[in-house]
Amino acid sequence: MRSIKGDDNISHVVAQKECCFTSREALAAACEELGCTYSPDQANWRYYGAWLDDYKKANAAYRHGIDPKDYGKNAQGVISLKGDASSYEVGLYPHPSGQGLMPVYDFFGMEGRKIQEKLGENLEKLRGVYARHAIQRQAKFGGYSITRKAHQDGHVQLVLEPR
């Protein structure tokens, strides 16, 4: 266990409740595109390693049903940064709605910042790429063809047309 002294030893484990991954296939595709690995059968994930009861904001994982005793373990899948064995990881837990998975991770310190650099603050990049893959999967399943248009301002537009 790490020594606990000073302000550098802080754990900020958050849950992204507004994010609900319902398609494991779309999640795997999004992770691959962003340079991550999705391991659906992995239960243990890296974070600071100890809950210090020092983070109390609304997105604190314990406020969304994740017992601090389960931090770093008992996940139903893990997202890791490819080629980086020291960065923290994202654990996936049942979403409070009862549908899909909710990401939980420690964003603090250098190891936590790596998650946000790769997946976006509040996992915004991951959420956007996941949404695109989920829409593409549903559209193909529903018999639609998809055209992807990238705009100069950076946003992507998906145009669906019946086949």
pLDDT in tens, 32-61: 999 999 999 999 999 998 888 888 999 999
Tokens of 158: 């998906």
Query: Each residue of 136-147: b (16+ CB within 10 Å) or e?
Result: beebeeeebeee
Is the Cβ–Cβ distance between 71 and 61 less than 8 Å?
A: yes
Of the candidates 109, 89, 114, 117, the residue with the CA atom closest to the CA atom of residue 6:
109
Class of residue 21 by CB neighbours under 10 A (exposed 0-12, middle 13-18, buried 19+): buried
Whether residue 9 is predicted with pLDDT greater than 80 in this model: the reply is no
Question: Per-residue pLDDT averaged across 131-144, rounded?
Answer: 91
Inform me whether the pLDDT recorded for 151 exceeds 60. Answer: yes
Average pLDDT over residues 21-29: 97
